[in-house]
């Protein structure tokens, strides 16, 4: 299974400890300022992308001296930097799992853009590969059908967020649903696993599932 990690430019104080300690498996794509942080941690990205408009010349030189594949894009473009990195990870690098770090916190419009990536038709084929990870949350996405997830160690809460109208069933959780019709995007939050695994199913669109913990 091939894992590609993306580090984008969100606040570093929201990184999980595993990232700070360099214990994330897989190769990396650096996105804009995320490239500088990777190099400073001794990690050389396979590919660096961005418009690089948020960094000074010295920071860009740090990237240039450590990364062989740098792709610079005009700030006036149709895709965000994170979208471009996601396309490279899926289409070019053929990732099975795409972990996105640094995508939460900071500007809320940036986070919402990242959160809604899974609803875009052009990313429909990679929806279930995407995970957005910070120190308190692991966000995953699923397409219609039957699914099973495993409880992540130290993550206490479980949330189900339909991104569209659907019939949703939740099993093996404290709060269950049985083919319940959800007519609009809604957050069924503060649920918990009833065991180590949870099964759920739904009939249409995309479902976001979040495992989380308190700070």
Q: What is the pLDDT of residues 140-190, one digit of tens each?
A: 999 999 999 999 999 999 999 999 999 999 999 999 999 999 999 999 999
One domain, residues 47 and 83: yes
Please tell me which residue, 22 or 108, carries the higher pLDDT value. 108
Which pTM was predicted? 0.93
pLDDT at 76: 65
One domain, residues 98 and 163: no
36-45, 50-59, 77-86, 138-147 — most confident range: 138-147
Distance, in Å, from the CA atom of 207 to the CA atom of 197, rounded to the nearest integer, reads 17
Secondary structure class of 136 (helix, strand, coil): coil
One domain, residues 167 and 108: no
pLDDT at 118: 92
Q: Where a domain ends, among 135, 159, 184?
A: 135
Beta carbons within 8 Å of 100's beta carbon, 6+ residues apart: 5, 6, 8, 82, 86, 114, 130, 131, 132, 133
pLDDT at 73: 81
One domain, residues 157 and 127: no
Q: How many domains does the chain have?
A: 2
Which DSSP letter does residue 123 get? G
One domain, residues 122 and 168: no
Domain that holds residue 45: 1-135
Instruction: Confirm if 112 and 163 have CB atoms less than 8 A apart.
Output: no
One domain, residues 129 and 151: no
One domain, residues 185 and 125: no
Domain with 18 in it: what CATH number?
3.40.50.10240
Q: Where a domain ends, among 108, 135, 162?
A: 135
């Amino acid at each position: 299974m091939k894992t590609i990690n993306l580090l984008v430019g969100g606040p570093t104080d929201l990184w999980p400890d595993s990232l700070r300690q360099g214990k994330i498996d897989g190769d990396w794509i650096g996105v804009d300022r995320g490239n500088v942080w990777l190099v400073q941690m001794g990690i050389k990205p396979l590919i660096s992308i961005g418009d690089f408009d948020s960094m000074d010349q010295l920071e860009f030189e740090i990237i240039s001296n450590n990364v062989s594949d740098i792709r610079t894009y005009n700030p006036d473009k149709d895709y965000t930097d994170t979208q471009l990195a996601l396309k490279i990870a899926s289409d070019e690098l053929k990732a099975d799992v795409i972990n996105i770090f640094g995508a939460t916190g900071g500007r809320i419009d940036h986070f919402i853009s990242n959160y809604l990536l899974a609803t875009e038709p052009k990313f429909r084929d990679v929806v279930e590969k995407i995970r957005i990870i910070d120190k308190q949350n692991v966000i995953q996405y699923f397409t219609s059908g039957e699914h099973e997830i495993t409880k992540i160690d130290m993550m206490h809460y479980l949330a189900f967020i339909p991104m569209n109208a659907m019939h949703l069933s939740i099993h093996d959780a404290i709060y269950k649903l049985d083919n319940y019709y959800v007519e609009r995007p809604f957050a069924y939050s503060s649920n918990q696993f009833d065991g180590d695994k949870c099964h759920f199913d739904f009939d249409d669109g995309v479902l976001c599932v979040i495992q989380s913990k308190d700070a």
